[in-house]
Structure 1
Amino acid sequence: MQTAAKMRLADALVKILEKEETEFIFGYPGEQILPFYQALRKSSIKHVLMRHEQGAAHAADGYARASSQPGICVASAGPGALNMVMGVATAFKDSVPLLVITGDVSSQFKGENVFQDVDINSVFEPITLQSHLINNPEEGISIIQKAITALKNGKTGPIHLNFPKDILQEEVDTSLLDEWLELTYETDENLLKNNEPGESLLKNNETDEKILNQVRELVETSQKPLILSGAGVLWSHASEDLQIFAEKHQIPVVTTYPARGVISEDHPLSLGLIGLRGTEAANFAGENADIILVLGSRLSERTLMGLGKGPIIQVNLDEAVLTGDVNIKGDVKEFLEKIKETTPENTDEWLNELQKYDKNQHVATDFEETPIKPQRAIMEILQGMNDSILVNDAGSHTTWVNLLMKVREPSSLIFSGGFGPMGYGIPAAVGVSLARPSKHVVVVVGDGGFQMSVQELATIAEMELPITICLLNNQSLGIIKQWQELYYDGSFQVELDNPDFVKLANAYHIKALMIDSPGDIFAAMQEAVKLNKPVLIEIRVDENEDIPLPR
């Protein structure tokens, strides 16, 4: 009798990821994940060696946002896994699909307080859709397949799989693996909990048709309809569907911050961002619409600031965020297909009314003095970046970009909105650049955030990625300083004694220059974009210039 061929679980996992046409994995090796790295050595998958595990998670996050496909990040046990927490929490808050793989101490030592033993799953459970400790190789194969399916078809967010080192090295029957690789992955309700790919209120049964008919009636009798787009439109690959629907029925569109560009902000039907920092036109529309189609948005407190009392039809795959008057747990693309022939009453009067309100944010930028005003710096960066993708970090520059940038394409403004960690921008730009290799990437970062992930300059330099880093140096934690001076009796512990950033970038073999005169940034940006290699531009800006307070 012939003995069945065997394969280590680590090798089987890589085979599954290859079948899914995985191109990049962002990670940092360590002892307990080494069997997986040994398997990667022989794989067509490209491993991107980040310089910190948090950077690996942020890079996978940036890759996912830029490609609208799940990102994958890998770390080892204990410190390695815990270093990823910030990046995973960032993705969770913004519903970014990540497959997070960690190694762990061997199963016989779990809970024995051995070297690097910690309850990793308890840490990841609150910041992931699912966190699984793998107990045997067969379970590992089954769960990773279901996780991939869920990430592609269910509500989006991180899924964490924790593999003890000994389990990674155990063998499985390759004939079973071959069967698994040929399967159309089916849903296990107990495993996938509330993330079932097929669970949707759009299955054409009698109850669902009643809900859809209610939606159609509300839209058809509407005189002031409004579409509010969230990032779920991007994840469902429904940007084009949304624009076609809006144009066909002449319905204006507003967006949440993560969805900016889902329809070009130059489009006649686009009113721009709604809510906190929203445009006058968007917030007027939100307050006065008689029906609001909320597509793929969780309606955060900042978005709700722009809404009035009009009835809300909310569509989202995450049932937990459904708070509208009519709630549909379903895919946005599928929903738009089902109501595409639903026409509201003539909206000409409504659109004419909206024309009276401003769709632009008016910020003065014509300052000629030095030190450079940050809004002048941002204006020159935006003018010089051509059609590059812009990645934001966290800080006062984020507000200036928000106020000054016109977003014309989906996923062309990448940032962390819900969590807002400093240090996001540079590692996220690595993932964005690899996801969109035909595009130049521009990062805008402050001197505080820059120093939280500066080590990732090594990754950028090693891979010669076409990334321009615009470092706004105000020698302080500017936004925190502003809040302290407004509300806490003056600034404290926010002044930064910075290094020579040009020399620092040069030490990483990155071309760098410092600018301290207005008017020079635009030319430097054009040259950097044309060079299409890593460049750092340090811009000395006025440390006393505050962002405008929200209206």
Structure 2
Amino acid sequence: MTNGARIACAQGLVRILKEEGVNLVFGHPGEQILPLYQALHRSPIRHVLMRHEQGAVHAADGYARATGGVGVCLASAGPGALNLVMGVATAYKDSVPLLVITGDVSTEFKGQNTFQDVPQAQVFQPITLHSYDVKKPEEAISKLKKAFMLLKTGKTGPIHLNIPKNVFSQTVDESLLDGELEYVHIPIYGLDEALKLMESSHKPLIIAGAGVIWSGAVEKLQEFVIKNEIPVATTYPARGVLPEDHPLSLGLIGLRGTEAANHAGAGADLVVALGCRLSERTLKGLGKTTIIHVNLDEEVLQGDINVKADAAEFLEKMSRLRFQDTGKWLNELQKYRSHHQVATGYDDTPLKPQRAINEILEASKEALVVNDAGSHTTWVNLLAVVREPSGLIFSGGFGPMGYGLPAAVGVSLARPKRSVVLVVGDGGFQMTLQELAVISELQLPIIIFIINNQELGIIKQWQELYYGGPYQVALENPNFVALAASYHIDGQRVLEPDQLSARVQKALILKKPYLIEVVVDPDEGIPLPEVV
């Protein structure tokens, strides 16, 4: 490289993206980010044009969850940037690694209340690990490099770069693109005491969180627990890190947890919370026990012994341990594995949602499942048997309606050889349905199941229980099959219990977009937890 050669900031940013292994980004162009789009146009990086910025960030989120890597999304200033907020908050709550780049009005117009000028970095600050308000091209380059360094070596979540339009076009010295920022390793603390406790435990339990996935520690975890015969429960986003049909897997713990996982949480003499937050929902599955909490994020540590480390590093340190015989403990837990089955054998018309969802899941065991938010979410979580990491993808921490459809786009593009099944309610589907255009354009093999109860079902259920009756929850729905057809996507409507399984299997064989509307009983509620 010639010393002193100059390059446009936008070109430098794109080069760094490529060097960091980014092959695909999601976005929606606008005036203040056009210089970056021009640089993208000249690069091998693929851009997926989503139909709404919220769709772009949810798609990047799904892509990240399905790959275990970083998702990237782009938007312009003002309305474009603020349309990302829902999805960025979703990723923040679930610690999903995202790089969010927004354009902004040029520096000479900032702070003058000009067209589309809002304090974007300040808006994103509470829902990101870092929100950088870039002022100079050199700063844009250094902050992007720093973002990748942090996401590769530190705690995960969204990082936001806000870059004015004129900064994209200004030049920087090419030498700034060379080299990587040096990562200073932070020593682990609390490790020795944790290891001693683990060696003396007779009834240990590991609660695995998404940090196991983000640190690339899934195989390490599986090898460790199988070698030492340690039972594993998981938080929502970590389901499948040990296949849920494995003898050592107890499934989800906490508010919607399995009986086996919650019995283990109540009876364990030691819990190792590995790469997870101990949220209020997870804590519902734990009794009075000693907790070793392992996490890179010091702010979430709340165990009796706290170990600041990523999951992979901690598992490497544990490899030298010699555990007590856990045979008696495992036999005790085995008695609870078959308990608490959800009844699904209904022949009613309209279909019971639990039967419909069970048949969808049973007929699509080889597919990746994406779940939206609503009453159907509970049935999917209770009935799914997740056999691989990210085999079930949904937003457990924030739960926005409308997440599922754009997230399925990201999942499908991340795992192009796999079919993707989306389970979504009639309410959530209508929040982001414009992304059908992307599914159709790219011919993604996504099978969309709309669970249609013609209302906001879970809200109606809360209203009936606590607020004197339903109000503003009935939905005047469109013809969903005809709507899909308008986007050149085939579909059909299912009304009878004996129709669904065969149609699911037929749709999966097609390897192309397909929509199945499943009409279910509007009066069938979900088992509600003891919270309001």
For the aligned pair, the TM-score class normalised by the smaller chain equals over 0.9
1:201 aligns with one of 172, 180, 187: 187
TM-superposed deviation, 1:49: 0.2
- Partner in structure 2 of residue 195 of structure 1: none
Please tell me whether residue 464 in structure 1 is matched to residue 443 in structure 2: yes
1:432 aligns with 2:411: yes
What's the counterpart of residue 76 of structure 1? Answer: 76
Q: Which residue of 2 aligns with 1:414?
A: 393
Q: Deviations over 1:220-251 (max 9, x none)?
A: 11111111101110111111111111111111
| Deviation at residue 24 of structure 1 after TM alignment | 0.7
- Which residue is 1:192 aligned to? none
In the other structure, the counterpart of 1:31 is: 31
Secondary structure of 1:324's aligned partner: coil
- Which of 275, 278, 301 aligns to 1:296? It is 275
- 1:360-509 equivalences under 5 Å are 361-509=340-488
**Deviation sequence 1:451-495 (CA, Å, 0-9, x none):** 000000001100100100000110000000000001000000000
SS of corresponding position for 1:520:
helix
2:187 counterpart letter in structure 1: L
Q: CA deviation at 1:120?
A: 0.5
> 1:54, 1:251 → 2: CA distance?
41
Displacement after TM superposition at 1:201 (Å): 3.5
Tell me: CA distance 1:359–1:106, structure 2 relative to 1, closer, same or farther (3 Å).
farther
Q: Would the aligned equivalents of 2:297 and 2:308 in 1 still touch at CA under 8 Å?
A: yes
Following the alignment from structure 1 to structure 2, what is the Cα–Cα distance between the partners of residues 3 and 305?
60
State how 1:134-173 maps to structure 2 within 5 Å.
Answer: 134-173=134-173
Segments of structure 2 that go 5 or more residues without pairing to the other structure are none
Verify the 8 A CA contact 2:77 2:104 in the aligned structure 1: yes
Deviates more, 1:525-534 or 1:356-365: 356-365
Separation (CA, whole Å) in 2 of partners of 1:265 and 1:367: 25
Distance in 2 (CA, whole Å) between partners of 1:54 and 1:521 is 31
Q: CA deviation at 1:184?
A: 2.7
Aligned to 1:534: 513
Q: Separation in 2 of the partners of 1:360 and 1:110?
A: 61
Tell me the equivalent position of 1:353: 332
Corresponding residue SS for 1:145 = helix
1:340 and 2:313 equivalent?
no
- TM-score of the pair, normalised by structure 1: 0.94
Q: What is the CA–CA distance in structure 2 between the aligned matches of 1:313 and 1:147, rounded to whole Å?
A: 29
* Corresponding residue for residue 205 of structure 1: none
1:11 aligns with 2:7: no
Distance in 2 separating the partners of 1:316 and 1:200 = 13
For residues 179-258 of structure 1, the aligned pairs below 5 Å read 180-181=177-178, 183-187=179-183, 198-202=184-188, 208=189, 211-258=190-237
Higher mean C-alpha displacement, 68-77 vs 278-287: 278-287
Post-superposition Cα deviations, 1:352-379, rounded to whole Å, max 9, x if no partner, equal: 1112213554111111121011001101
Question: How far does the alpha carbon of each residue in 1:110-154 deviate from its partner, in whole angstroms, 9 at most, with x for none?
Answer: 010110000001100000000011111111111100101111211
Structure-2 separation of matches of 1:386 and 1:325:
39
Verify: 1:308 aligned to 2:287, yes or no.
Answer: yes
* Shift in Å, 1:550: 3.0
- 2:92 is aligned to 92
User: Does structure 1 retain, via aligned residues, the 8 Å contact 2:146–2:181?
Assistant: yes
What does residue 40 of structure 2 align with? 40
Counterpart of 1:105 in structure 2 is 105
SS at match of 1:118: coil
Structure 1 unmatched ranges of 5 or more = 188-197, 203-207
Q: Distance in 2 between matches of 1:91 and 1:313?
A: 26
Q: What percent of counterpart residues are identical? A: 62
Partner deviation per Cα, 1:12-71 (whole Å, 9 max, x = no partner): 100111111211100000000000000011110000000000000000000000000010
1:53 aligns with 2:56: no
Q: Distance in 2 between matches of 1:3 and 1:138?
A: 16
What does the per-residue CA deviation read over 1:132-191, in whole Å, with 9 as the maximum and x for residues that have no partner?
A: 1111111111110010111121100000000000001101122x24xx33x13225xxxx
CA distance in 2, matches of 1:321, 1:536: 41
Name the counterpart of 1:64.
Answer: 64
SS in 2 for 1:246: helix
Q: Is the 8 A contact 1:9 1:140 kept in 2?
A: yes
Structure 1's 39 and 359: CA in aligned 2 closer, same or farther, altered over 3 A? farther
Whether contact under 8 Å (1:380, 1:519) holds in the other structure is no
Is the contact made by 2:145 and 2:180 (CA closer than 8 Å) also made in structure 1? no
1:14 counterpart SS class: helix
3-state SS, counterpart of residue 519 of structure 1: helix
Per the alignment, residue 263 of structure 1 pairs with 242
Is 1:126 matched with 2:114? no
Distance in 1 (CA, whole Å) between partners of 2:501 and 2:6 is: 60
CA contact (8 A) 1:36 1:168 kept: yes
Alignment check: 8 A CA contact 1:62 1:429 kept: yes
Deviation at 1:327, TM superposition (A): 0.6
Letter of the structure 2 residue corresponding to residue 331 of structure 1: D
- Per-residue deviation, 1:305: 0.2
**What RMSD in Å do the two structures reach over aligned CA positions?**
1.2
Distance of 2:444 and 2:327 partners within structure 1: 48
Work out the CA distance in 2 between the residues paired with 1:402 and 1:359: 16
2 CA distance for matches of 1:404 and 1:30? 43
Q: CA deviation at 1:539?
A: 0.5
Number of residues of Structure 1 aligned to a counterpart in Structure 2: 529
Check the 8 A contact 2:375/2:457 in 1, yes or no. Answer: yes
